Amino acid sequence: MAASIDPSKTTIVDIFAGAGGNSIAFARSGRWEKVISIEKDPSVIACAKNNAAIYGVADKITWINDDCFDFVSKDGNIDFNTSTIFASPPWGGPGYRGDEIFNLDTMQPYSAKQIHEMCKSTECALFLPRTSDLRQIAKLAPEGDKVEVVQYCMEGASKALVAYIPATQSS
Ligand SMILES: C[S@@+](CC[C@H](N)C(=O)[O-])C[C@H]1O[C@@H](n2cnc3c(N)ncnc32)[C@H](O)[C@@H]1O
């Protein structure tokens, strides 16, 4: 993440924070002046806060218990000039384990397109299944621009990929 994101972005917004694994790593990295973590489930966010305290970064994360689609779209909540968005969404729907190529249009409960639509005012990083359809990811690139896709491997095998998508310039 640190190497792939424009240095002028000083805030990272983790829009599907879950139990905090990624948010805690961002806070520990020292790369970000501010980490904002959004999670809609109150019991899960409580768990994330506890995990952050265990890792000594409780005071380095701003927790938002809300629906990320509501929060991100509300004027003034996110400064898109200085923020980048990280999304580790649920990978539900048909095919995640069995299909050779994972269909990002039928990912549940949100398609990659739907998530990107929310984030596209700034550059964003989407954490997706390693078998995700690269043609669907390529379609998220702004006109004339490119998406960078990084496979994250452990012990010689990819665990997931991250698609780094530049901001869509408003006309
Ligand atoms: C795959 S998990 C994220 C795991 C996380 N990256 C971690 O390291 O623990 C997805 C999370 O997104 C949350 N979520 C789903 N829809 C959401 C929404 N609309 N707004 C905010 N959080 C949401 C779920 O409750 C779940 O905890």
> Which residues does the chain have with pLDDT short of 70?
95-97, 171
Q: Which atom of ligand 1 is nearest to the CA of 22?
A: 8
Instruction: Choose one of 26, 35, 38, 39 to mutate for the ligand 1 pocket test, by most ligand atoms within 8 angstroms of C-beta.
Output: 39
Q: Which CATH class is domain 11-165?
A: alpha beta
pLDDT of 4: 76
pLDDT of 66: 98
Residue nearest to atom 25 of ligand 1 (CA): 41
Residue for token digits 């408003």? 170
pLDDT of 99: 81
Residue nearest to atom 5 of ligand 1 (CA): 18
Q: Which atom of ligand 1 is nearest to the CA of 90?
A: 1
pLDDT of 169: 79
Q: Which atom of ligand 1 is nearest to the CA of 68?
A: 20
pLDDT of 96: 66
Q: Are 138 and 168 in contact (CB under 8 A)?
A: no
For CA atoms 36, 32, 146, 138, the dihedral sign is negative
Write down the domain spans for the chain.
11-165
Q: Summarize pLDDT for 96-136 with one digit per residue, the tens.
A: 667 889 999 999 999 999 999 999 999 999 999 999 999 99
pLDDT of 84: 97
Q: Is the CB of 26 under 6 A from ligand 1?
A: no
pLDDT of 3: 73
pLDDT of 123: 95
pTM of the model: 0.96
Q: What are the structure tokens assigned to 39, written together? A: 């999670």
Q: Is the CB of 90 under 6 A from ligand 1?
A: yes
Strand pairing class (83-87; 11-14): parallel
pLDDT of 102: 94
Q: Is the CB of 22 under 6 A from ligand 1?
A: yes
